[in-house]
Structure 1
Amino acid sequence: MMNGLQEWPEPIVRVQSLSDSGVSSIPDRYIKPPTERPSFCHLIGSSSSSSSESSEVEAVAEADVDANIPVIDMSGLQSEDRRVRAETMRLVSESCREWGFFQVVNHGVSPQLLDRALQIWREFFHLPAQEKQLYANSPKTYEGYGSRLGIQKGAILDWSDYYFLHYLPFSLKDYNKWPHLPFNCREVIDEYGNEVVKLCGRLLRVLSLNLGLKEEFLQNAFGGEDIGACMRVNFYPKCPQPELTLGLSSHSDPGGMTLLLPEHQVTGLQVRKANSWITVKPAPHAFIVNIGDQIQVLSNAIYKSVEHRVVVNSGKERISMAFFYNPKSDIPIEPAKELVTPDSPALYLPMTFDEYRLFIRMRGPQGKSQVESLKSPR
């Protein structure tokens, strides 16, 4: 209950309203410290660098432009050719171990449904302000229309608005907290959530088998059929000074697994790989899948959650839909006993997801500091 906090510590300003007002500079509360700002080589639309930059820095920039997270064709899992199935499994395993991120195509969710879902949310964020304010959220649950994460007074904020809603368990699914406009949006959200839940279940089975565990291990560790699922739709308005801020600060996802549906025409997501930020180039109608902190704990860090962030754009707005597939809130999560050996001792102490997610709700995105704090003392 966020220590009983019912309201945000400061008046809420909608980032979209700042953008629409035509401001030429962003307020100080959105300006990131120099070490957290996007560098010249990561800015969307950036095509040149200062002549004073070293050739070494320029080489890193070129690598970032050319790199991308793996794209995996999921139809290979149903192939009659055993070698194709094995190769698809291998690609998923390698992506989880080396990247913590991958894209999936031919995943079984209708492209028409994906397009409809993005369109209804685009229309929602362009409704009159008074319509959206009917769903304004609070720190108590976060469900609804929001513009900040974390409750620290005076915190530096991200350049984004969002809509957060619960999908599972059914006891938390409250249609009254879902927007009623645009027309048919609740039906589309429901259909989309149902399809993505099924896809998450299929992916968890693949991850379990690749860890050498029983097919249903991760699903059962999450609570079987009694899992948690929620959605955050992110809206990143145009920004007059994208080099000074971020749409979403660096973080790893606190939950189990995330499926992100972005608009593929506009990039924004960046994934940390070693000391570089890789700008993800979304494939059309692909989901971007990433490992969350809970799977890092369950796998005893064989699979790792990875820091990621979002940069913004001076010329284009952007929408993405993040679907979080999480453990039941009151189940202690700890490394699978099958993966703990004298040579690979348990790295993490048990903690319920309910206890765990309070961290990001209170402090906002903080890199990987929360999952690192769970490590067992040696």
Structure 2
Amino acid sequence: MVVATPTPVANEKIRATELPIIDLMGKRSEVSKLIVKACENFGFFKLVNHGVAEDVIAKMEEQSHQFFAKPSSEKELAGPSNPYGYGCKSIGCNGDVGEVEYLILEANPLSISHSSQTISNDPIKFSCAVSSYVEAVREVACEILNLMAEGLGVPVPDSSVFSGLIRDVESDSLLRLNHYPVPPLRDRDTSPAASFHHHPNSNNRIGFGEHTDPQILTILRSNDVGGLQISPEEGVWVPVNPHPGAFFVNVGDVLQAMTNGKFVSVKHRAMVNRYESRMSMAYFGSPPLHARIGPIPEMETPQNPRLYRSFTWAEYKKATYSRRLGDSRLNSFRFQPNDEYIEN
């Protein structure tokens, strides 16, 4: 997933680009087209008028802040992250590190209720807040995926080809809460060079190194503090400005495979903010472990031959977590002419 280098390399460029802002309440046919265009060009967009109630978001943020404000000894009771639970700085099991502490939860009510016992002093309140938030953002994710399918010309009876994978009761979806504390004063780079080469609101310390998300779709909410960057091309990083009330949506590897490379699973990273702590809440919509993934029929044509062989989410997930962050994953699932063709 990510290689968290201690500082960005010298030949990186920071470029200002405004990402698409899509209003989910717009005319359906137009929204569908805009989403497809954004996923082709950026793999990333901002979503407004998404329909998730403000109090649902506020309660989730409140519970997240309360957890990360606890002493380390109390937070560690919810860990170690294997793969769910609390972790700090060590990202995964492959030596990746970052200036981040995090809490990973399975996105189903039973698991959330069970995990809450070691996470919160008021487990029922925590469980209700998380379950309500997960349910709400899953609905948004499903609506976005249905709009994508429509925009790609998938017939209406099959328009749940993407969303059905995360609605499945065995969906492997998860919620990840990331907290990026302000670095100690002695560790901050306040030089003019740092301000020029990096976003003004960011330190040059990497909170979470460059990676793509392996799942289908990510719905991200942050606390309006800068730090997120995407890489639309090699060596170029684009700061994603905070947008009050918006969700950030990005394509995952599975969706890139299912669209036969039409949609882009974009590399992104999080920089530590020099002045304010940053917190993000990421819902990762994932298929069931047994689900077989491959390009949908509408995306395979003589002009656009099959790029990826079929694989199960369990196979891809195993390959993903055996690599370091940033290592290429989808390339190893490229379809070769002598590969056995397996229908999804």
Provide TM-score, normalisation by structure 2: 0.83
1:47 equivalent in structure 2: none
8 Å Cα contact 1:149-1:361 kept in structure 2: no
8 Å Cα contact 1:97-1:304 kept in structure 2: yes
Is 1:165 equivalent to 2:124 in the alignment? no
- Give the direction of change, closer, same or farther, for the CA distance of 1:130–1:150 in structure 2 (3 Å limit): closer
1:194 equivalent in structure 2: 135
1:206 equivalent in structure 2: 147
Is 1:370 equivalent to 2:329 in the alignment? yes
Give the secondary-structure state (helix, strand or coil) at the position aligned to 2:107: strand
CA distance in 2 between counterparts of 1:205 and 1:31 reads 34
Aligned CA-pair RMSD: 2.3
- Give the direction of change, closer, same or farther, for the CA distance of 1:213–1:116 in structure 2 (3 Å limit): same
CA distance in 2 between counterparts of 1:126 and 1:211 reads 44
1:71 equivalent in structure 2: 21
2:296 equivalent in structure 1: 336
Is 1:271 equivalent to 2:241 in the alignment? no
8 Å Cα contact 1:223-1:328 kept in structure 2: no
8 Å Cα contact 1:330-1:352 kept in structure 2: yes
Is 1:260 equivalent to 2:220 in the alignment? yes
8 Å Cα contact 2:213-2:253 kept in structure 1: yes
2:177 equivalent in structure 1: 233
1:181 equivalent in structure 2: 121
Provide TM-score, normalisation by structure 1: 0.76
Is 1:354 equivalent to 2:295 in the alignment? no
More strand by share: 2
Is 1:287 equivalent to 2:230 in the alignment? no
Q: Gapped runs of 5+ residues in structure 1?
A: 1-29, 42-59, 77-83
Match of 2:44 among 85, 101, 120: 101
CA distance in 2 between counterparts of 1:188 and 1:182 reads 11
**Cα displacement string for residues 279-300 of structure 1 (whole angstroms, at most 9, x for unaligned residues):** 1112111110111001111111
Q: Which is greater in Rg?
A: 1
Is 1:117 equivalent to 2:60 in the alignment? yes
Count how many residue pairs are aligned between Structure 1 and Structure 2: 311
- Give the direction of change, closer, same or farther, for the CA distance of 1:182–1:297 in structure 2 (3 Å limit): same
Q: Gapped runs of 5+ residues in structure 2?
A: 190-202, 338-344
8 Å Cα contact 1:143-1:177 kept in structure 2: no
Bigger CA drift: 283-292 or 219-228? Answer: 219-228
Structure 1 position 137, deviation (Å): 1.9
Match of 2:92 among 150, 170, 190: 150
Match of 1:245 among 205, 219, 231: 205
